[in-house]
Amino acid sequence: MSEMFNSAPYLLPWYLKKQEPLLQYKNNSLNWEYIEKIDGKFIGIVKLCDEEKTLGLFNSVVYVHASTDGLFFCIWKRLESTAGLQKIELYSVNDLSSITDEKMEMQKLIDNYGSGYLLTGKPLASVSFTLLPEKEFIEVEFPEEFKMFDEFFYTTDIPGLYQNANPDWTNTAILSVVPKENKIYIFPQDWYNQSEQLDKGYQWITRATRNAETGKIIGQGIRMNNFELDESGRRF
């Protein structure tokens, strides 16, 4: 099952390898680097670079989803405890330019953690939407540029996901994003949110994709085994 996650969005800094997710800049593969400390101080910044320059800086808990040719990528922050407002930006890798004062920009990113990431190029397109806890799906008018992407998934938290919820329940959902249909499908993770055995602050769902053989949603998480959901997309 593990190799099926190669097509899933990458949650930074987890799952990163030197050239995964694969992005191509001027016909060369870019490198990802996790910088834990500078001058003995923890920073936890991810850097996207080629052999000569830095093209992007990222805080933790940011998603990157590359196109199959590596020339474009979607990027968004994992938002928690918000009103459900989400934003996805789409970039062309070749539109990125060098970050000049890397150390200063890293410090800005640390000081403004909520900004999520720093990219010098302008996004090719962006889309914003509000998730509604009572809906199984929402309709979103995706710009045409997004329609190069097939279905992809990500995990977020939707306040008020359950009516009359137990106060110990959490609000995690997996979203199926389908730009070509202009729809986003919402799958509350009942098995996780309503569990009395899991430690929600220690164990959490990170990413998902679809099992090409069974058609079911499969997922990964921190300090938990890979899992496959049933036809409901909400439980095993």
pLDDT of residue 83: 62
Give percent above pLDDT 70 in the chain. Answer: 97
The mean pLDDT of 18-33, rounded to a whole number, is 94
Is 2 a residue whose pLDDT tops 60? yes
Q: Please, how many CA atoms are within 13 Å of residue 40, restricted to the half-sphere of its CB?
A: 0
Is 115 a residue whose pLDDT tops 90? no
pLDDT of residue 80: 57
The mean pLDDT of 194-208, rounded to a whole number, is 95
Could you give the CA distance from residue 56 to residue 60 in angstroms, rounded to a whole number? Answer: 13
> Residues 166, 171, 176, 182: is their CA dihedral positive or negative?
positive
The mean pLDDT of 218-229, rounded to a whole number, is 97
pLDDT of residue 217: 98
Confidence of residue 201 (pLDDT cuts 50, 70, 90): confident
- Per residue in 132-161, pLDDT (tens digit) is 899 999 999 999 999 999 999 999 999 899
pLDDT of residue 81: 52
- Per residue in 38-84, pLDDT (tens digit) is 888 888 999 999 988 999 999 988 999 999 999 999 999 987 556 67
pLDDT of residue 223: 95
Q: What letter represents residue 111's amino acid?
A: D
Beta carbons within 8 Å of 78's beta carbon, 6+ residues apart: 11, 61, 62, 63, 154, 155, 156
Alpha carbon separation from 127 to 102, 190, 205 (Å, rounded): 28, 28, 24
Domain ranges of the chain: 2-228
The mean pLDDT value of the chain amounts to: 93
The answer to whether the predicted template modeling score (pTM) of the entire model surpasses 0.85 is yes
H or E, element range at 4: none
pLDDT of residue 32: 97
pLDDT of residue 166: 95
- Per residue in 88-113, pLDDT (tens digit) is 999 999 999 999 999 899 988 888 87
pLDDT of residue 144: 98
